[in-house]
């Protein structure tokens, strides 16, 4: 678990936020709608990792709720794992709380899970097992 796969940032508007990062010289490479999380995402590569901009697509989206409570901003860190089920089992065994029983479908065919922030010092942590054909 040594690769910071991406940094998730909750935004009201992908269009407005990407314009800012593009003004910094970054480029959006890949985006899609992740139905399971009710978000549209855009990825911007930066040295060694990526930013993931997350825009809610429905009021009940976890990202919509986050923005409502805390405003736009840093949302989660995602670490890449080889086997998300094994990582989940290991954390559960040590008494940490996960936000789902089973891995969820993430962007680009990845399997992901989230660790409850109360288990990780207030930082929402995502673990991601890349999908087939992931770069
Ligand atoms: Zn993420």
| CATH number where 46 lies | 3.10.180.10
Instruction: Give the count of beta carbons closer than 10 Å to the beta carbon of residue 121.
Output: 7
Tell me if 134 is assigned to some domain: no
Tell me if 135 is assigned to some domain: no
Tell me if 27 is assigned to some domain: yes
Distance 76 CA to ligand 1 centre (A): 7
pLDDT in tens, the chain (135 residues): 689 999 999 999 999 999 999 999 999 998 899 888 899 999 999 999 999 999 999 999 999 999 999 999 999 999 999 999 999 999 999 999 999 999 998 888 899 999 999 998 999 999 999 987 655
List the domain range (segments joined by +) for residue 53: 3-129
Helix H or strand E encompassing 51: strand 49-56
Is residue 126 a contact partner of residue 117, using CB atoms and an 8 Å limit? Answer: no
Pairing of strands 31-34, 3-10: unpaired
Distance 120 CA to ligand 1 centre (A): 16
pTM of the model as a whole: 0.90
Tell me if 14 is assigned to some domain: yes
Q: What's the total number of domains in the chain?
A: 1
Tell me if 64 is assigned to some domain: yes
Distance 32 CA to ligand 1 centre (A): 12
Distance 8 CA to ligand 1 centre (A): 5
Instruction: Give the count of beta carbons closer than 10 Å to the beta carbon of residue 107.
Output: 22
């Amino acid at each position: 678990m040594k690769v910071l796969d991406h940094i998730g940032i909750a935004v009201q508007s992908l269009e407005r936020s990407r314009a800012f990062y593009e003004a910094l010289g970054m480029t959006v490479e890949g985006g899609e709608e992740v139905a399971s999380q009710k978000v549209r995402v855009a990825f911007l590569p930066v040295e060694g990792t990526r930013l993931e901009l997350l825009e809610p697509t429905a009021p009940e989206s976890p990202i919509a709720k986050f923005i409502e409570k805390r405003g736009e901003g840093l949302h989660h860190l995602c670490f890449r794992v080889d086997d998300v089920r094994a990582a989940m089992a290991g954390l559960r065994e040590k008494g940490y709380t996960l936000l789902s029983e089973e891995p969820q479908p993430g962007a680009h065919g990845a399997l992901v899970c989230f660790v409850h922030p109360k288990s990780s010092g207030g930082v929402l942590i995502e673990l991601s097992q890349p999908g087939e054909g992931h770069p």
